[in-house]
Homo-oligomer: A and B are copies of this chain.
Amino acid sequence: MAKEKSTEDKIINAARKVFIAKGMDGTRMQEIADVAGINKALLHYYYRTKTKLFERVFTHAFKEVFVVLERAVSNEMDFERFLEKFISQYIKLLKSKSYIPQFVIHELNRNPDLIVKQLQDKSFIKEKLFQLVDQAIEDKVIRPVPPVHLITNILALCIFPFVARPIITGFAMDGDKKKFKTYIDERPEQVIAFVKHAVLINQKEEA
């Protein structure tokens, strides 16, 4: 609808689209210009180098998938509610930004130094997360599972389907994209139940 985007916005949006689809190496500045509806000269007029443009896009993408963690740990609630909220919100985010995880993961593997710039001042999130799990164990709400394993397990269950989408669609859904959508819609409920059964100690009464 709205076309009132500034040229800078058009460039950033186009760059994100192309970089996410093709990666840093596979992206051509000309294609970004085409997608943005401008020409290459103007593109370089705004962003002198491909590298600068890429880093801007990457940083933004990284923050988008990381900010949910930030928000999750800041809310106070019991562990079971935390699990529910975190998983459902995270998958909901990924549904609307489904290509970001693969993009971020690929570029971090390509150039691991990028992670250093991104993780500055994020250590408090880690501490809060680990503390949350430790507390739940101490309170005997969950089994004594090493926090790093539980946290990576949850992230794996949320994120993996989006990075492995072509495989899942091809292998288990016969290439039917509609089935994949259904599968993703079922995910929050399935993942929450899976994790709860895996770690919660008191799962007596449930709907």
Binding site for B on A (CB under 8 A): 22-23, 25-26, 99, 102, 104-106, 108-110, 112, 115-116, 119, 122, 126, 143, 145-146, 148-149, 151-153, 155-157, 159-161, 163-168, 170-173, 175, 183, 186-187, 190-191, 193-195, 197-199
Contacts and interface: CB of A to CB of B under 8 A. Distances in A.
A50 to B, nearest CB: 13
Number of this chain's copies in the complex: 2
13 contacts: A23-B25, A102-B106, A105-B167, A106-B109, A109-B163, A109-B166, A145-B190, A148-B173, A148-B183, A152-B164, A156-B157, A194-B198, A197-B199
Nearest to A160: B156
A86 B179 CA distance: 26
B109 A165 contact: yes
Contacts of A166: 108-109, 112, 115
A107 to B, nearest CB: 10
Given A145-B190, A159-B160, A170 B115 contact: yes
B160 A148 contact: no
A160 B183 CA distance: 19
Given A26-B110, A105-B163, A171-B126, A149 B115 contact: no
Contact of A119 (B26, B152, B171, B195): B171
A188 to B, nearest CB: 11
B112 A149 contact: no
A164 B173 CA distance: 25
A156 B102 CA distance: 14
A124 to B, nearest CB: 12
Given A109-B166, A164-B155, A186-B149, A172 B126 contact: yes
A83 B167 CA distance: 21
Given A25-B23, A198-B194, A170 B119 contact: yes
Contacts of A155: 160, 164
